[in-house]
Amino acid sequence: MNARPIGEFTIVSTEGTARVGRLETAHGAFSTPAFMPVGTQGTVKGVTPRDLKELGAEIVLSNTYHLHVRPGDELIRDLGGLHKFMGWDGPILTDSGGFQVFSLSKLRKISDEAVVFQSHVDGAQIVFTPEKVIRIQENLGVDIMMVLDECAPHDASRAEVEAAVIRTSKWAKQSLLARARPESLAFGIIQGGMHHDLRERSLAEICALGFDGHAIGGLSVGEPIPLMRELVERFAGELPSEKPRYLMGVGTPQDIVHAVKHGIDMFDCVMPTRSARFGRLFTGSGHINIRNAEHRRSDEPILAGCDCYTCQNFSRAYLSHLIHVNEVLGIQLATLHNLRFYERLMADIRHSITEKTFGTFSAKYLS
């Protein structure tokens, strides 16, 4: 049983606007700033839950839309919930399907009442209302539910973005009214595209509703990085300071350090796992492509001093060989390294804030 109430967010340390915190959930607490490995289908590709624990992950992300389509949220409920189903006993956050409103735009129609998808699997009609999205996530039994929102493309017209803001606020209210499991925390999502005044409007409307946490959505959807960072700088600090702040879908290690500097607490991105599948490995000064010829005879690890299983046991030459012959182990070892790199980055960020050295750390990292 939790010693602290579910949903309690404690600020442990600060340096400027960067902060270290701890959020209590029904499946334990996790420290922030936190990076959530992405397990869209109920698994983080290429690694086991045991691996995730050893890598330092405390919370993972899964996806409402995809788990509803396959194998079905009611099946998962009947089998004991998503934690038991996927063998992960720590906190789980689920995206609402709002990103699929963006990414599957050719397979959906949207109105003020619902999003109607044509299933990407078999073409069947799937109707998502705000209430249904809450019910799916409660069937899954997750710790943090994201409410249904509309994520507009970065190049959408102002009229389209304004309509998305209005719809997102309407759906947020409906979502809160539909909640039946208070132990599943609910986060509201700020939209508004690249328009400062629409972001201000969305932020004011969403933050007035009493969510357990707040997210900045609608970024990392194709806009230039300087514009994304400008919006983070402008709006992160306006989110309520007493609740966790989540920047959805971001991103590179540099983007994470930049966002932490401006007060963001939670992150997710497919980059470490997706990059691993293509042989791109993080080193702290960019990345290497293990497919390149220069690595084929190298007995060096991916990153000297890295404590991941891959770097402690295998050479670049071995990984290059595995990737070139399409062995699954190559992807697994690359994924272990990239995820450990991200989780170690978060641990270093938390340590530097606690020790009041984050200013130096971030300046060096961002340079």
The answer as to whether 174 is a domain residue is: yes
pLDDT at 1: 44
User: Can you tell me the mean pLDDT for 344-363?
Assistant: 98
Q: From 38, 89, 18, select the one nearest 342 (Cα to Cα).
A: 38
With bands split at pLDDT 50, 70 and 90, how would you rate the model's confidence at 97?
Answer: confident
- For 36-88, write each residue's pLDDT tens digit: 999 999 999 999 999 999 999 999 999 999 999 999 999 999 999 999 999 99
pLDDT greater than 70 at residue 91: yes
Q: Reply yes or no on whether 268 is catalytic.
A: yes
**204 plus 312 within the same structural domain:** no
Are 335 and 218 in the same domain? no
Runs of H (alpha helix) within the chain: 49-55, 64-69, 73-78, 82-86, 98-103, 130-140, 158-178, 196-207, 225-235, 253-261, 271-277, 309-313, 316-324, 328-354, 358-366
90 and 182 assigned to the same domain? yes
Query: Within this chain, do residues 318 and 255 fall inside the same structural domain, yes or no?
Result: no
Indicate whether 356 pLDDT > 70: yes
Same domain membership, residue 215 and residue 85: yes
**Annotated catalytic residue within 51, 73, 95, 143:** 95
How many independent structural domains does the chain possess?
2
Q: What's the whole-number mean pLDDT along residues 90-116? A: 93
Q: Is residue 5 part of a domain?
A: no
- Same domain as 355, residue 225: no
| Residue-number span of the structural domain to which 303 is assigned | 287-367
pLDDT for 331 beyond 80 = yes
Catalytically annotated residue among 143, 255, 265, 268: 268
pLDDT, one tens digit per residue, over 262-311 is 999 999 999 999 999 999 999 988 899 999 999 999 999 999 999 999 99
Q: Quick one: which of 290, 269, 292 has its CA closest to 279?
A: 290
Question: Which region holds residue 292: left if phi is over 0, alpha if psi is between -120 and 50, else beta?
Answer: beta
Residue 344 domain flag: yes
